A = this chain, B = another copy of it.
Amino acid sequence: MSDKKLLNYADYLNLENILNSQKLKSAEQGKPAHEEMLFIVIHQVYELWFKQILHELDSILNTFNQNSIEESDVSLAVLRLDRIIEIQKILIDQIRVLETMTAMDFLEFRDYLFPSSGFQSAQFRILENKLGLTPDHRIKYGNQDYKNPLLEAGRKVVKKAEDEKSLFDLLETWLERTPFLKFEGFDFWDQYSSSVREMLEKEVEAIRNNPNHSTEQIAYHLKEHEMATASFEAMIDVNKHNELIEKNKKRLSHKATQAALLIFLYRDEPILHSPYNLLTRLMNMDELFTTWRQRHAIMVRRMIGAKIGTGGSSGHAYLQKTADRHKIFSELADLSTFFIPRSTLPKLPGKIKKNLGYHFKS
């Protein structure tokens, strides 16, 4: 009698709405296709997870948009990135569920969906923008703005996310403000640079003296190594770094790059635990989006081959390209090029270590 007045599981979760939102187009057309249900349900699940990821991402953006960022803020951001990462693993794994639908099953209802398409997921575009994918960095498909296929309402919120500060931007600012780069009386960069140069020279020796290789092979590898050396010199030299930024070959500022490198190198200092965790989580998240795009591309290829997708584009090739190119934090991963063995790391003077105090005030 009175059970409607108490909170009930079904009401709390709005199951009335959630479970009655699957309208099969094939059924509407009088040719119900059993598999269309899966197609709808899995995409709804994706969108629910996207909503959750955005919920976490927004809270992280808020945190890094503050003037003063405490150590506990960073540590909370890490926990929320951990949640995003666990969700991403599910996004990837559940592709296996969709793969239980074969290409021929899909063809039974594909035509009814035209021209709707996954390219019209406003939430995913918002997510990309909030992470820091800029319109310039996007792979184009069909020579049009990526917002065109969206509905009016979607276009607006996606555009808004395009204009706001992204996680990339806020991370850059936060890194630039880290106090670790000014060490009075201790020239970290000088010492670090010498250590790396020494390591690079040792590598050249190793290549030259590799008894498994012919003269030609050695020449080949030396050439490869020169590129590594050049990229190291570019990091040391702010002007070279800025040139690369102008040429769109780098994005993260010189100062932020140095701060990130320091965090990696001295990650054993307690005060750097949370910053280090933050950077690794960002790299993990980036890698998982890459993996997701790759798996998605493989699945689409298998499902529709070289056919055009429901959005009117050869989806597979496009998705594969985005996997390689829509990374946001790949420059963090590249920093490992400049790592040196812990044992050759310049020791921090006691005074500096003391200044690495707990509260991370900028």
Contact = CB atoms under 8 A, between A and B. Distances in A.
Contacts of A337: 304-307
Contacts of A203: 307-308
Contacts of A10: 120, 122, 151, 154
B356 A114 contact: no
A154 to B, nearest CB: 7
A34 interface: yes
Contact of A211 (B6, B221, B291, B358): B6
Nearest to A283: B302
Count this chain's copies in the assembly. Answer: 4
A136 interface: no
Contact of A144 (B45, B149, B214, B270): B214
Interface residues of A, number: 143
30 contacts: A3-B212, A7-B114, A9-B117, A10-B120, A10-B151, A12-B25, A15-B44, A17-B21, A22-B51, A71-B270, A83-B101, A90-B90, A103-B264, A104-B264, A105-B342, A107-B339, A107-B340, A110-B341, A142-B213, A142-B221, A148-B212, A149-B212, A203-B307, A221-B308, A224-B308, A224-B313, A270-B360, A273-B274, A291-B295, A301-B333
A303 B336 contact: yes
Interface string A306-339: 1110001110000000000000000001111111
Given A47-B13, A49-B41, A273-B273, A225 B90 contact: no
Contacts of A211: 2-3, 6, 115
Nearest to A108: B341
A4 to B, nearest CB: 8
Interface in A30-65: 34, 37-38, 40-45, 47-49, 51-52, 55, 59
Contacts of A268: 72
Contacts of A27: none
Contacts of A87: 97
Contact of A40 (B13, B38, B152, B334): B13
A305 to B, nearest CB: 3
A314 B207 CA distance: 12
Nearest to A142: B217
Interface string A194-221: 0000000011001100111110110011
